[in-house]
A and B are shown apart, each in its own frame.
Chain A
Amino acid sequence: MNLVEKILARASGRPSVEPGEIVVAKVDRLIMHDLSGYLTSQVFEKRVNTPIPDPTRVVMVFDHHYSPPTEQQANVLQHNRKWAAKHGITLHDCGNGNLHHAAVRNGHIKPGMIVVGSDSHTPVHGTLGALAVALGNDSHAGTVLPYGKAWFKVPATVRVHLEGTPNPGVTPRDVALWLVGRIGEGELNYRAVEFAGPYVRELSFWDRWLFPLLCVDLGAKCSFVEPDEVTEAFVRTLPGGAAPELLVRGDGDEAEQVLRFDVGEVEPQVACPPTVGNVKPVREVAGTPIQHAELGGHGGGRLEDFRAAAEVLAGRTVHPGVRFNLVPSSREVFAEAAREGLVLALHEAGATWFPPSTGSNQAYNMGALASDEAMISTHARNFPGRNGSPDASMYLASAATVAASAVAGVITRADDERGNA
């Protein structure tokens, strides 16, 4: 069995499981943000409303809001706080960062766990060697909260094997975006996706994070990187430390299919409107005007992103026609950015810091666009209608490309921007 199969077998009390089987398995963590928590609590209260036997498994992070701009939104947060307090659910209130980053940074996610949530990027926790799956509100309300369990169909696994050496200026996010374009949206529907190969092995934990993050756009159910010494070293830095008894590794070659890619072919990439799969080399859309740039979102707002931006902005300033917004993914990232001098450097270059949150994700607290505006960001989604006008344009790229575009006022490769200076 591989990691996914082993975790599902253990959590469903079976000696083994096979792809296609439906099992009912014990869930270790339910993670929700302010919107999914609200919707789940409403279904739970109206239709289930039992005690929650083990509320320590349930975590809510307010990340779409850092400070509610309307009474309606304030009411949503207040409702969530009362619901969490009533049941003993762990709550990280406004300002604690993005759901997935805050869940990891606060020690809620460990290798070998089954993690569920409504947020579609929940599978990102496969980076730690957890089995992490997005389920809907009715699963949470109907089975996860009252019984601590959920139903799962055991997925077949596709291994994405990445090898080769990236060209200078090509970052892991470029490789991740390129893969979505190469494999295609929805093409790995219902599969588990393992990211493997020498390229993946050499990445740091937070660079690996960008790969399981994208699996939802391929249609996958979940994704993982086989835990290794990078995973173990990272987990030791988290509150609660390592949980070696939870560490699960696969037995070998249990993949239905292996897709091999040479990352040496990749150049800087950008996902263009209207979907995440519309990926092009940056040079094909270079010169497109943008008015907003942002480092933030489920895959952005990492320390690595702010370092990359500071490098691009060294000796330069943000274009006067661009608002360049910086949204740390967690309080820990903001603290580290401050210690490294990135906070002041990027502030003085003309960028604006926002509270740790999920930033412009769906524009609940920031980032709505007028119909003739465009944004380039490290966010994970660019569907029309998510951020203000459905006619606005959203581009997704690496932190280096976002920063270079913020300087130029048009979509630009970071190496071209350096050449122009």
Chain B
Amino acid sequence: MRFEGRCWRFGDNIPTDRLVKTQHVLEPMDVIVQHVLEDLNPDFPKLVRPGDIVFAGKHFGQSSGRAIAAKALQATRIGCVVAETFARTFYRNCFEIGLPALEIGINPDLAADGDRVRADLASGEFTNLTTGRTARGAAADPFLVDMLDAGGLIDLAKSRPEVFR
């Protein structure tokens, strides 16, 4: 599972409330996606392209456990989300909805906006192709990789119900 794309850099401790603001939670996804992270970078929802990679700092996606924040990020059609560390509900939700996520440990200056970057979930390797710098995070648990391969938790449970019976 390897992803390569243009980097969007975000900071530390970004809560789900900044991915999806309160006033948009009950809106349809085509409205929500126009506002994802706009308070932190107004260009992001306007200029993000399919296959881009979001690279955030520490404890990304803290606050609400609702999957809607991860779903909003997925709806921008980014290839994957990378963070130094994730809030655990956000990390869990990414795999459950089928959005690849890689945690690489604390590496604050590894990549900047616009750098070309590569993330490999199987090996945990993250490469900044623009600067040549690399970092190695933990490879995703095989159970989570299976979940991604199935398309997310609901599809996994449908295709392998014996796991949950």
B29-62 interface with A by 8 A CB criterion: 39, 58-59, 62
Residue in A136, A363, A384 whose CB lies within 8 Å of B89: A136
B65 contacts the other chain (CB 8 A): yes
- Complex Cα–Cα for A46 and B40 (A): 32
B128-165 interface with A by 8 A CB criterion: 141, 143, 152-154, 156-157, 161, 163-165
A-chain residues with CB within 8 Å of residue B96 when the two chains form the complex: 136, 138-139, 142
Interface size on B, residues (CB 8 A): 39
Measured CB to CB, the nearest residue on chain A to B27 is A72
- Complex Cα–Cα for A217 and B64 (A): 11
Q: Indicate the member of B58, B156, B164 with the most A CB atoms within 10 Å.
A: B164
One digit per residue, 1 when the CB lies within 8 angstroms of any chain B CB and 0 when it does not, for chain A 117-147 equals 1111010000000000011111101110011
Known: A147-B164, A186-B62. A385 touches B26 (CB 8 A): no
One digit per residue, 1 when the CB lies within 8 angstroms of any chain B CB and 0 when it does not, for chain A 250-276 equals 000000000000000000000000010
- Complex Cα–Cα for A386 and B15 (A): 10
A-chain residues with CB within 8 Å of residue B62 when the two chains form the complex: 185-186, 216-217, 219, 275
Contact B66 A141 (CB under 8 A): no
A-chain residues with CB within 8 Å of residue B17 when the two chains form the complex: 362, 381, 383-386
One digit per residue, 1 when the CB lies within 8 angstroms of any chain B CB and 0 when it does not, for chain A 16-40 equals 0000001010000000000110110
One digit per residue, 1 when the CB lies within 8 angstroms of any chain B CB and 0 when it does not, for chain A 359-389 equals 0001110000000000000000101111100
Known: A136-B65, A142-B157, A385-B18. A189 touches B141 (CB 8 A): no
Contact B39 A120 (CB under 8 A): no
A-chain residues with CB within 8 Å of residue B87 when the two chains form the complex: 186, 189, 219
- Complex Cα–Cα for A190 and B65 (A): 14
Known: A22-B141, A120-B64. A219 touches B92 (CB 8 A): no
B-chain residues with CB within 8 Å of residue A87 when the two chains form the complex: none
Known: A24-B164, A384-B18. A153 touches B141 (CB 8 A): yes
Contact B97 A185 (CB under 8 A): no
B-chain residues with CB within 8 Å of residue A24 when the two chains form the complex: 163-164
Residue in B25, B85, B152 whose CB lies within 8 Å of A189: B85
A76 contacts the other chain (CB 8 A): yes
B-chain residues with CB within 8 Å of residue A190 when the two chains form the complex: 88
Q: Indicate the member of A151, A364, A390 with the most B CB atoms within 10 Å.
A: A151
Q: How far is the CB of B17 from chain A (nearest CB, A)?
A: 5
One digit per residue, 1 when the CB lies within 8 angstroms of any chain B CB and 0 when it does not, for chain A 197-238 equals 000000000000000000011011100000000000000000
A48 contacts the other chain (CB 8 A): yes
Interface contact tally, CB-CB below 8 A: 134
A-chain residues with CB within 8 Å of residue B66 when the two chains form the complex: 35-36, 39, 118, 136-137
Q: How far is the CB of B148 from chain A (nearest CB, A)?
A: 13
B76 contacts the other chain (CB 8 A): no
A-chain residues with CB within 8 Å of residue B59 when the two chains form the complex: 185-186, 189, 219
Known: A138-B154, A139-B153, A186-B59. A221 touches B88 (CB 8 A): yes
Known: A48-B154, A143-B164, A189-B88. A137 touches B18 (CB 8 A): no
A-chain residues with CB within 8 Å of residue B86 when the two chains form the complex: 189
- Complex Cα–Cα for A138 and B97 (A): 7
B-chain residues with CB within 8 Å of residue A217 when the two chains form the complex: 62
A277 contacts the other chain (CB 8 A): yes
Measured CB to CB, the nearest residue on chain A to B89 is A134
B-chain residues with CB within 8 Å of residue A141 when the two chains form the complex: 154
B110 contacts the other chain (CB 8 A): no
- Complex Cα–Cα for A173 and B156 (A): 42
Contact B154 A385 (CB under 8 A): no
Contact A186 B58 (CB under 8 A): yes
Q: How far is the CB of A70 from chain B (nearest CB, A)?
A: 10
Contact B153 A39 (CB under 8 A): no
Contact A76 B39 (CB under 8 A): no
Q: How far is the CB of B18 from chain A (nearest CB, A)?
A: 6
Q: How far is the CB of B9 from chain A (nearest CB, A)?
A: 18
A73 contacts the other chain (CB 8 A): yes
A-chain residues with CB within 8 Å of residue B153 when the two chains form the complex: 138-139, 142-143, 151
Q: Which residues of B contact A (CB under 8 A)?
A: 13, 15, 17-18, 21-22, 25-26, 39, 58-59, 62-68, 70, 85-89, 92-93, 96-97, 141, 143, 152-154, 156-157, 161, 163-165
Residue contacts A-B, CB under 8 angstroms, 11 given: A22-B141, A36-B66, A118-B66, A139-B96, A143-B164, A185-B58, A185-B59, A189-B86, A219-B88, A275-B62, A383-B15
8 tightest A-B contacts by CB? A186-B59, A136-B67, A134-B65, A142-B154, A136-B93, A147-B164, A138-B96, A383-B15
Q: Which residues of A contact B (CB under 8 A)?
A: 22, 24, 35-36, 38-39, 43, 47-48, 72-73, 76, 117-120, 122, 134-139, 141-143, 146-147, 149, 151, 153, 185-186, 189-190, 216-217, 219-221, 275, 277, 362-364, 381, 383-387, 390
